[in-house]
Structure 1
């Protein structure tokens, strides 16, 4: 049975710096590289706080390796009648210690983005 206080091993949070608030309803796809092929292991849309609470379950067991999150920025901006320069943002990262938590934040605007390893 999942522990309600426990968080998934990989989480994400998207903030739209162009409007100064969380990016709600933005599709995020999580993949793992297996034998030089990308395999989808999770997908979710950001909630009103810009977080993806269902990207992975709290019980998901990570394996060491290369992962990536792809953010559908074109879909996000199109939903509000806007456009953007980067139609998607892909952030690849490596997991070595499967016992750590990995947080992938995205700071976004229509013409740029930034990321870092969050906590």
Structure 2
């Protein structure tokens, strides 16, 4: 059975991104449906899959990473408003029987993502 997982890596500090709130939405016809949220643990991962079972179906999704507070705690100085505060990642799921791993590689002034497994 497929599922959705994520994690956050702070590539500027070379450490997991702990304590980051992540919201998950399903997107249909331009409307976002809030499905839940999680907070990253000491390994920068969520304790359970973000979505699995009947809630994980083919379609378009959005993970929203609330990184501003994490960057403040890490001592990253920034003018207000911060360059990065909330990062939305929108992606498609074609086969809900597969594992979709969508990590966030974060630095104070940039980020990237990819589909892992």
Q: For this structure pair, what is the TM-score category when the shorter chain's length is used for normalisation?
A: 0.7 to 0.9
Q: Quick check: 1:52 aligned with 2:46?
A: yes
Q: How many residues align?
A: 113
Paired with 2:97 and 2:57, the residues of 1 have a C-alpha distance of: 10
CA root-mean-square deviation: 1.9
Q: Which has the higher contact order (CA 8 A, sep 6+)?
A: 2
Gap runs ≥5 in structure 2: none
Structure 1 residue runs of 4 or more that deviate by more than 4 Å after TM superposition: none
Pairwise CA distance, 1:109? 0.6
Aligned position for 2:86: 88
Gap runs ≥5 in structure 1: 1-5
TM-score by length of 1: 0.84
Q: Greater CA deviation, 30-39 or 90-99?
A: 30-39
Aligned position for 2:56: 62
TM-score by length of 2: 0.85
Q: Quick check: 1:32 aligned with 2:30?
A: no
Paired with 2:68 and 2:54, the residues of 1 have a C-alpha distance of: 29
Aligned position for 2:10: 16
Q: Secondary structure, in 3 states, of the residue corresponding to 1:70?
A: strand
